[in-house]
Amino acid sequence: MTTALSAAPDRRSQAIPAVLPEPEHWLTRRGRELRVRVELLDAAADSGYVLIFGDLADARDKGRPPLVRLHSRCLYGDALESDDCDCGPELRLAMDLIQAAGVGILVYLEQEGRGEGLLVKAQGLRLSEDEGVDTFHSYERLGKTHDSRSFQAAACYLRDTLKLTSVRLMTNSPHKIKALTDAGLLVGRVPLETPPQSDRARRYLEAKQRIRGHELAEALSRAEVALHETEAALLKTGVAFTDAAEAGDALHDADRALHKADRALHEADEALHEVPGAPSKPDRYGRSTPRNMAWLLAGLSCVAAAVAAWLLHVSLPPQLPAAALGLAGFMFGRVVTVAGGKASG
């Protein structure tokens, strides 16, 4: 006996809803959910999408300007996770800050290759390899301008469509700040400084600072190097040593690295306070101390706390458990004290 199989419903024949659903939904990122609404930035040039996270009305009612990131599309950095530019790390850091705040705006602009497209970008990178010049000069060799992007359409959208009057702009670019201030917006800058992941990335950051006037704090880079050195020294104290002198040397190295990181963090703090657009205390427009410092301090706290917990479970020579745990406790307490001072200052 043959059983007839019922045909699957043809979804193409189903009627399109009379009212299309709103382009708004929940997004899960790093284990947490965030509400996002997508709007089209329909401009003749420099078009893209506006992603609104959280409740802008709630932020407006509280008088807190929203975090805003104007981000130009970078296939290599955003999707392929290239280490040779800062686009991907900056985007991820911006999203981390938005997610922590619970509300913010990402304007994702179709401006690949500083507005010239992926093909020109690839050609410029090849010229940079062959001739040993930065991509700004390789663009000149290709008959292109250093940067053909405009942020005017994005600025007008924030002002006219979203009805914003002030924002906290996550950027290192004075050109983005100028575009928004020219549109009549009050702008507080939130630096987005990420450590370069390769020599090419470092050279590119230096070229952006030299040619395009990007505001980068060298002291912050030194602080991040000191942070990694501290982490390595702390982790070394978690190894089971066979010689008391060897373990004592490791603890001494960890103590010295911690003080070095502390000094570097204070230098970075002072340097960032001198950067235009990066004031140290919140004002009536919601400008605040750069968040990178808090991230570094939080990183030190986490490392110190993790190693303190680890030392409780490893085998140290009989002569050293008290000293090791005492130093770990001192490190954790010192960093928490510094972090608390930064937060309150």
Residue 19 DSSP code: S
pLDDT of residue 315: 44
- pLDDT level of residue 62 (50, 70, 90 thresholds): confident
pLDDT of residue 102: 94
202 vs 224: CA distance, rounded Å: 14
Question: In the beta sheet, which residues pair with residue 106?
Answer: 51, 69
Looking at residues 103-130, what average pLDDT do you find?
A: 96
Is 29 considered catalytic here? no
Q: Beta-carbon neighbour count of residue 235 at 10 Å?
A: 15
Per the model's pLDDT, the better-predicted residue between 320 and 49 turns out to be 49
Contacts (Cβ under 8 Å, ≥6 apart) of 223? 261, 264, 265, 267, 268, 296
Per the model's pLDDT, the better-predicted residue between 323 and 279 turns out to be 323
pLDDT of residue 207: 85
157 vs 164: CA distance, rounded Å: 9
pLDDT tens string 156-179: 999 999 999 999 999 999 999 999
Q: Beta-carbon neighbour count of residue 70 at 10 Å?
A: 27
Which pairs from 256-259 meet CB under 8 Å and 24+ separation?
A: 257/226, 257/229, 257/230, 257/232, 257/233, 258/230, 258/233, 258/234, 258/300, 258/304, 258/331, 258/334, 258/335
Taking 3-state DSSP, the helix, strand and coil percentages for the chain, each rounded to the nearest 5, stand at: 50, 15, 35
Considering the candidates 73, 114, 149, 168, report the single residue annotated as catalytic: 149
Range with lowest mean pLDDT among 26-40, 145-159, 217-231, 239-253: 217-231
In this predicted structure, the answer to whether residue 40 has a pLDDT above a threshold of 50 is yes
- pLDDT level of residue 103 (50, 70, 90 thresholds): very high
Per the model's pLDDT, the better-predicted residue between 122 and 336 turns out to be 122
Question: In the beta sheet, which residues pair with residue 170?
Answer: 190
Q: What's the gap between Cα 271 and its chain centre?
A: 19
Kindly write down the DSSP assignment for every residue of 284-313, as one continuous string.
Answer: TT---S-HHHHHHHHHHHHHHHHHHHHHTT
Contacts (Cβ under 8 Å, ≥6 apart) of 302? none
Looking at residues 63-75, what average pLDDT do you find?
A: 95
Kindly write down the DSSP assignment for every residue of 176-223, as one continuous string.
Answer: HHHHHHHTT-EEEEE------SSHHHHHHHHHHHHHS-----HHHHHH
pLDDT tens string 260-318: 666 666 655 555 444 444 434 444 444 444 445 555 555 555 555 555 555 544 444 44
**Is residue 258 within 8 Å of 237, Cβ to Cβ?**
no
90 vs 82: CA distance, rounded Å: 12
Q: Beta-carbon neighbour count of residue 129 at 10 Å?
A: 11
pLDDT tens string 187-210: 999 998 889 999 998 998 888 888
Residue 217 has phi, psi (to 5 degrees) of -100, 115
Is 147 considered catalytic here? yes
Reduced to 3 states (helix: H, G, I; strand: E, B; else coil), residue 1 is coil
